[in-house]
Amino acid sequence: MSLKKSTTFTLNPVARWVNVAFLASAASTAAFSIQAQEAQDQASAEDVEIIDVVGTRRTIQDQISIKRESTTVVDGLSAEDIGDLPALSIGEALESITGAASHRENGGATEITIRGLGPFLSATHINGREATNGSGDRSVNFSQFPSELVKKVAIYKTQDASMIEGGVAGVITLETVAPLDYGKQRIQGEIKGNYNPDEGNVDNSLHSDLGFRGTISYVDQFEFSNGSALGISVGAQRQDITQPEAEYRSSSPTGSSLWACLNDPTNTNEGFFRSSAGDCEDQVSGSSNQGYNTEIDPETGEAISAGSPYAWTGSSRSYRQNETSDERDAFFLALQFQPNEAWDINTDFQYSNRLQQEARHDLIFLQKRAIPGLTGPTLVTNDVGGILHWEGQDRIESSGEQFSRDETYHGFGINVEHFATDALTLSFDLAYSKTEREELQISNRARTEDRQFFSWDMGDNIPHFTVQNLDVTDITNFYDSLRTRADRENARENEIKSAKVDFSYILDHDVFVSIEGGLRASEMTFVQLGGSQGNGSRNQWTFSPTDGASDDEEIAQAIALMESCQIAFPESGFLSTVSDGAIITHVDSDGNVVESGTGSSWATYDNNCFAQAVAASNGDNFAYPELEYENAGTIDVTERTYAGYLMANYDTEMWGKFVRGNVGVRVVNTEVTSIGFRSAFEIIEGELGTLTLVEDDSVLDRIEGGGSYTEVLPSANFVMDYSDDILLRAGIYRGMSRADPSDLGYSREFDRDDEVAPTTISDLIVGVNGSGNPDTKPLMSWNLDLAVEWYPNEDSIFAFGVYYKKFNGGFQQRTVLETFEIEGDNYDLPITNSVTTDDSSTLKGIETSIAYRWDNGVGVKFGYNFADTDYEFEDSNYGDTFITDLEGNTSQLTQGIIPPGAVPGFSEHVFSGQIYYQIGDLDTALIYKYRSEYFQPYTSNGTRLRYVDEVGVWEARASYKVNDHVRVKVEAINLFSAPKSQDYYVQGNLGEVNDYGPRLFAGVTVKY
């Protein structure tokens, strides 16, 4: 058998028809009729002149075509060639789609929200298969995938029965090239240089000022003498760039470091007006960590602290300077083999490894301490308790962290399509996806020995500090409490295996043109290793001076350590774009400004040097700890899903109009098994018959919990060709979004009654406490879309739609019974845990897309989404919280002082706009993306409120076609250095500001 390279490969007729249908709608193989396709082919053949449209205009034409031809509500982007997707990342590409917005980390788009609904309500598929991630939730970090190696991205806002379940908000799809369908040879290489102006101000120990992204890809097809054909598509990318970031930070609400401290001049026992110096949330009488008490007073039915004024204060406020490095290696491979006209076999493989590193340098002002006669009387707050001016006395730290995150993604799939007859097509698919993540961190601390007087005032964007008689640039002032920690944490592995079989049968019917059906089975596993710190392990050392050293000698040794590791402050112009001048002002006792120590820098040191020196002072070598599977902090979740669907596609004439669409139903069964570990125990009977439970921390017992549910998901989609250029569209479906894998863990410990002398196990063990609920039910919703779309020409669209979503589900603490085997017998014991409730809430919105191009080469594209919801997410610390007992009685635990958040990730307004100019070989575009404020929970504690403030970001790109083979490009994101600002607990209480600066890329693409 001979091998012949084909540069003019033509697909067989059946495969060509399937390919066109696939491009029109990945969700339906019968999105439009064969007759319509034949008419299109005939019209193309009659064209006298073919105009080759490329660049931005071609991209927008493809967007319009994807939307017009689909039977579902979908918006997408496709590229003529690999590497032509018009964005620097998948996240930035998705942001340009109407209704989509991103959460920014390190200055780039990461998690995507759809129509104001958080990432946990969306699903992401790569080549029609579920994708894993390393975050512990079900969102996907799109910065992991290079846009240069993706052919198409799309967001399906309504669904049909054939789509994998899991997206209440929508389904995000990424597609790589199927080489035979691509139909031509292409060898392409691209190199982009990266320069970030803010990085030019940083003396970066991890990276040089310049970075790059290099991509190479090859697509080809081969015909064999026996009529079979093979296609290959392969690509690789190396990225080595920086992600500069300057930060102001306050203590976060994830733990116990941010409190609503009482601000009542008549209360001298606690708060800012306490009678003796101490932490503002501590009572003078001795109890600690009190602050504003939201617990219900049974005598009044209101919070214990009801009516008391308060102000938000964290344990610290700080500045952080970062040295950064971001390295990524990516690879994809696709093989398509057609042995004859009856078979089409596709295999694909994706790989990505990303290593993010940061050297962090912090100046930390501890500030919980209240000074009588000073802190309270001088405190200035806004109307939500956010502090605007603070004065007091506490220690100051020069601290540092060395951080790295290593994340690897593998994806593999094989799909076999068999055209059994002219009417029957069978499809078989096997898939595998795996993400591994591990984080390493060094945390260093060096403090002033004495508490220092300082104050701060809120500027336009961040606070500015005034210190008295302390030069923060002098490293010899930071010699006390030297400590280093080595943490290995968030070691996660997320894996998905799946198999499915589908069929499509073309009907000889006036209304229904085909039916589809299939079965799918998948297994998702999520493992997070535990350690001495729950989700990780820690080694810790404090500075140990020489034995027998005097106090002065100990200080001298500590100062010598600091000086030996000292480095110059790594950045000039730190936070200059968000500050109102110097961030630190040094004054003497008379209030005169001292030049040394006034500015925007402080004493810094090499983190690795410091950590090794502190460990060496203890006679140890610095080393990261190990993690272990058999640990009380381990989460091990297995989720098995079995689904089947049946769907009918129709294409007919009704009321004198052509209509098409589908109706179907999907049935999904999910079983969850969760493994945990707890200390082994033994029940011992005393001489008087009393029982005692004795735990052995050196031995761990394996425990297991789980749950299951079955859901029915009907769907229907309808499209009417009202006229040649106007479409009416409707879609209705029932969607589901499962709980995050990290919330499905199983940690359990027995509660004992120590007040009595128990003689039975039932008297001894009265309940269970723990975290994680593997029996958490999914959040369900009914979703309705209505739209009208006008397509004046191939460059234009005016689309307007409305949508409505009704959720069944919320989260609440509820007491339930779980069964445990103790001494060979089963006992039903109560546990209070988070469950999905039957509460109902709604979300409604409007969505519009506009694109138009003038003859002079100028074009515009706009997308806007407005949403409104009555969904309420109560904060677990300062919101209204309730508990339901075993009898179903609900009682209020706390009376909150802050309003609830909405759906996580919910933004009321999302807008993207683009103006482009394309004439001849020049192609330019200016893009603006806006997102209003939204609630974004922390991954580490998703029960506390954190708001990300509104932000608008500008991007630009331009390219010039030198000849048929060479194109030069320049691209930029965050042109005007828009920072990200976050508020904690309530909007108006500033928590963090991240300043990234613009990112610039320039390069050349060569293709043959």
The single residue listed with the structure tokens 């129509």 is: 115
Host H or E run for residue 679: strand 657-685
Q: How confident is the model at residue 83 (pLDDT cuts 50, 70, 90)?
A: low
Which candidate, 794, 804, 866, places its Cα nearest to that of 73? 804
Question: Is the pLDDT assigned to residue 697 strictly greater than 90?
Answer: no
* Residue 809 pLDDT level (bands cut at 50, 70, 90): low
Centroid of chain to Cα 417: 34
Per-position DSSP letters for 546-572, written without gaps between them: PTT--HHHHHHHHHHHHHHHEE--SBS
Residue 751 has pLDDT above 90, yes or no: no
What Rg value do the Cα atoms of the chain yield, rounded?
A: 31
Question: How many residues in the chain?
Answer: 1008
What's residue 893's pLDDT? 86
pLDDT score, position 621: 95
pLDDT computed for residue 9 by the predictor: 34
Beta bridge mates, 873: 901
Instruction: Determine the pLDDT at residue 687.
Output: 78
Q: What is the pLDDT of residues 756-787, one digit of tens each?
A: 788 888 888 888 888 888 998 888 899 999 99
- Supply the pLDDT for residue 563: 97
Alpha carbon separation from 33 to 69, 71, 190 (Å, rounded): 11, 12, 39
Question: Which string of DSSP letters, residue by residue, matches 915-971?
Answer: EEEEETTEEEEEEEEEE--EE---SS-TTS-EEEPPEEEEEEEEEEE-SSSEEEEEE
pLDDT of residue 6: 39
State what percent of residues in the chain have pLDDT above 70.
Answer: 93
- Which phi and psi (to 5°) does residue 200 adopt? -65, -20
**Residue-level pLDDT at 40:** 43
Q: Where are the alpha helices (DSSP H) in 518-634?
A: 551-565, 607-617
pLDDT at res. 940: 62
CA–CA separation, 809 vs 811, rounded Å?
7
Is there a contact between 167 and 735 (Cβ–Cβ < 8 Å)? yes
Provide the pLDDT for residue 50: 46
Contact, 120 vs 127, CB < 8 A? no
Nearest-angstrom CA–CA distance, 740 and 738: 6
Bridge partners of 805, per DSSP, are 783, 843
pLDDT of residue 939: 60
pLDDT of 82: 62
Q: Which residues, in sequence order, are CB contacts of 891 under 8 Å at separation 6+?
A: 882, 883, 884, 885
How many whole angstroms separate alpha carbon 556 and alpha carbon 383? 48
Query: Tell me, what's the pLDDT at 813?
Result: 67
| Per-residue CA distances from 825 to 767, 821, 822, 852, 939 (Å) | 16, 5, 5, 73, 38
Higher pLDDT, 479 or 53: 479
46 secondary structure, DSSP code: H
Amino acid letter, 111: E
Distances (CA, A) of 655 to 70, 662, 721, 808, 992: 21, 18, 11, 36, 58
Alpha-carbon distance of 264 to 376, in angstroms, equals 8
Residue 69, H or E segment: helix 55-69
CA distance 170 to 3: 44
Round to the nearest angstrom and report the end-to-end CA distance of the chain.
Answer: 28
Q: Report pLDDT digits (tens) over 459-514.
A: 999 999 999 999 999 999 999 999 999 999 999 999 999 999 999 999 999 899 99
DSSP state of 627: -
The pLDDT of residue 109: 65
> Which tokens is 465 given?
């500090």
- The C-alpha atoms of residue 128 and residue 162 are separated, in whole angstroms, by 11
Residue 837 confidence (pLDDT) above 90: no
Integer Cα distance of 668 and 670 in angstroms: 7
Question: According to the model, what pLDDT value does residue 540 have?
Answer: 97
Single out the residue of 560, 547, 549, 540 nearest to residue 611, CA to CA.
540
CB-based contacts of 534, cutoff 8 Å, min separation 6: 633
Which phi and psi angles does 561 have, rounded to 5°? Answer: -60, -45
pLDDT at 23: 34
From 156, 151, 131, 153, select the one nearest 141 (Cα to Cα): 131
CA quadruple 828, 833, 838, 839: dihedral sign: positive
Residue tagged 């009856």 (tokens): 342
Task: Return the pLDDT at 812.
Answer: 66
pLDDT for residue 274 = 93
Residues forming beta bridges with residue 930, ordered by sequence position:
911, 952
Q: Is the pLDDT of residue 691 over 60?
A: yes
pLDDT of residue 10: 36
Higher pLDDT, 950 or 145: 950
More confident residue, 501 or 177: 501
pLDDT digits over 271-317, tens only? 999 999 999 988 888 777 778 999 999 999 999 999 999 999 989 99
Q: Using CA atoms, how far apart are residues 470 and 374, in angstroms rounded to an integer?
A: 19
Which residue in 126, 354, 349, 333 sits closest to 216, CA to CA? 333
Neighbours of 333 (CB within 10 A): 16
The residue-averaged pLDDT of 674-701 equals 86
Q: Which strands form 387-394's sheet, in the order they lie side by side?
A: 380-381, 387-394, 452-458, 463-468, 584-587, 593-599
Distance CA 780, CA 378 (A): 50
Q: When comparing pLDDT for 1007 and 3, which is higher?
A: 1007
Q: What is the pLDDT of residue 648?
A: 97
What is the rounded average pLDDT of the residues 39-55? Answer: 51
Residue 965, sorted as left (phi over 0), alpha (psi -120 to 50) or beta, turns out to be alpha
Vertex 196 angle, CA 191 and 199, to 5°: 125
- From 145-149, 201-205, 369-373, 667-671, the region with the lowest mean pLDDT: 145-149
Please give the distance of CA 869 from its chain centroid, rounded to a whole number.
Answer: 22
Taking the C-alpha atoms of residue 870 and residue 885, their distance in angstroms, rounded to an integer, is 26
Residue 339, sorted as left (phi over 0), alpha (psi -120 to 50) or beta, turns out to be alpha
**Looking at residue 20, what is its pLDDT?**
35
- Model confidence at 107, in pLDDT bands (50, 70, 90)? low
CB 345 within 8 A of CB 415: yes
**297-305 LR contacts (CB < 8 Å, sep 24+):** 302/895, 303/894, 303/895, 303/897, 305/262
Q: Which residues contact 164 (CB under 8 A, 6 or more apart)?
A: 123, 125, 128, 129, 130, 171, 520, 643
Q: Higher confidence at residue 798 or residue 826? A: 798
How is residue 60 written in tokens? Answer: 């927008």
pLDDT at 1005: 94
352 with 330: CB under 8 angstroms?
Answer: yes
User: What are residue 317's phi and psi, to 5 degrees?
Assistant: -130, 145
Instruction: Please say if the pLDDT value at position 704 is more than 50.
Output: yes
Query: Residue 429 above 90 pLDDT?
Result: yes
